[in-house]
Structure 1
């Protein structure tokens, strides 16, 4: 089974970084946190996310990719996301990073994403809505994937 996992808000804590960024309430960044300089560089992992993704990576039933959207107006974000994935998952995983604005065009069985935007809601496989009542955390997601 092919599993795509969103980065921001699912593995990496974008909200925490946004709230802590000194420019987050200033123009032109207010309401556009994806444009904040360096916002993606040192995101903290969401609790349990690194261990859960590594568990999926070690499971022979799954082929795992990171499927993320990167802002066009913040090209440093593309580099920072790639470096973040390598930092936490190693060099092999950097080749499994897919950056796109159209997640619905990517082929897979599951998409784990916290938001319906950028085609997540229209994904042709099963969208697992991270942070929802049904899937509030990584424990619930692992339970779903291990016992489909």
Structure 2
């Protein structure tokens, strides 16, 4: 592992008195969701055309679909076991392990597909299979990620909104439906360390500046 990222983690810990918390989305960030969707769709509805993985124009799964295509999409996503069968994104598992080795508090933060009765348990099975029981314990399944405390959220969703003002900085995991948006991003798991190092250092600098502006009161 390059030294830049572990050094940024150490500076963060020194400034904050705790480890940085990095939240990592699952679908299309850790898991090859779209490949699973396309394969399942073709198996269940071979008569309906569907674009290859990576060619979807919108993050909205139902945009531009006929009524029949919308029903087929819902059926695929509601299939028991769908969310347990995905393969990992290239480099994702190694990146999580490297974050942990550097002293980062990593938690997975993923949204459930509410009409799929096995979605939540399938996702936990996936995490346990590929990352182990400890990471399964550190998995947060929620429809509102803004309520989850952290320093960084890595997510492919173009806009992550909710009821709270998020504490984390959003790092977009690049796909065709979000690449036009400004802000920090990871184009793949081969280039995550410089991006996270920069964000952790920015948060460290803000913490250090706040300490200078509000020094502890003197005991004398």
Fold in common (TM above 0.5): yes
Matched, 1:128 2:171: yes
- The 10-residue stretch of structure 1 (17-26 or 74-83) with the greater mean CA deviation from structure 2: 17-26
What is the TM-score normalised by the length of structure 2?
0.60
Matched, 1:141 2:192: yes
Q: Secondary structure at the match of 1:98?
A: strand
For the structure 1 residues 29 and 144, does the alpha-carbon distance in structure 2 shift closer, same or farther, using more than 3 Å as the test? same
Gaps spanning 5+ residues in structure 1: where? none
Structure with more of its chain in helix, by fraction: 2
**How far did residue 31 of structure 1 move?**
5.9
Structure ID, larger Rg: 2
Q: Deviations over 1:26-74 (max 9, x none)?
A: 66232675324322121000111111111111111x1000000011100
Q: Secondary structure at the match of 2:80?
A: coil
- 2: distance between equivalents of 1:68 and 1:32? 21
**How far did residue 94 of structure 1 move?**
1.0
Q: How does 1:86-97 map to 2 (within 5 A)?
A: 86-97=128-139
- 2: distance between equivalents of 1:82 and 1:5? 14
Gaps spanning 5+ residues in structure 2: where? 1-19, 49-68, 180-184, 200-220
Specify the alignment match of 1:54 in structure 2.
Answer: 97
Q: How does 1:3-18 map to 2 (within 5 A)?
A: 3-18=22-37
- 2: distance between equivalents of 1:14 and 1:93? 19
Matched, 1:99 2:137: no
* Selected match of 2:77 from 34, 40, 63: 34
Please tell me the root mean square deviation across aligned C-alpha atoms, in Å.
Answer: 2.2
For the structure 1 residues 32 and 4, does the alpha-carbon distance in structure 2 shift closer, same or farther, using more than 3 Å as the test? farther
Matched, 1:75 2:117: yes
- 2: distance between equivalents of 1:80 and 1:106? 21
**How far did residue 147 of structure 1 move?**
4.5
**How far did residue 125 of structure 1 move?**
1.4
What is the TM-score normalised by the length of structure 1?
0.87
Does the CA-based 8 Å contact 1:29-1:35 persist in structure 2?
no
